[in-house]
Amino acid sequence: MSGIIAIFAAERSNGRVESTGRAESSPRTPITNAVCRAHPESGFYRERVKLRLPETVADIAIILIHQTDYLLMRLIETARQRFLKEGGIREAMTRARINYRNEKKG
């Protein structure tokens, strides 16, 4: 959750939290990272988001979309590499069947 930087740990203003700008350069990043590590459950964030400005909530949504996109691209690349290295399900089934036959003979 470290991508949600400087949003939940931002300073309050009139009971609401103002947008904090670019996360990478924020001095609040370590604080936010600690909060995210301490609260992995989504309910914590659903309550906190109610206190944020709509613009900040939109920023959070964009960050989450980017994080999801990045993780999905990594998953796809890992699956592609695994397929190239190990083959697909048909190859795995063929290997398993050949191994079974060889064990049965020996």
The model's pTM is: 0.55
Largest distance between two CA atoms of the chain: 79
What CA–CA distance (Å, rounded) separates 34 from 42? 15
In the chain, domain spans? 12-105
Where would I find the H helices in 39-88? 42-49, 54-86
Decide if pLDDT at 97 tops 50. Answer: yes
For residue range 22-57, list pLDDT tens digits in order.
455 677 778 878 888 898 898 988 898 899 999 988
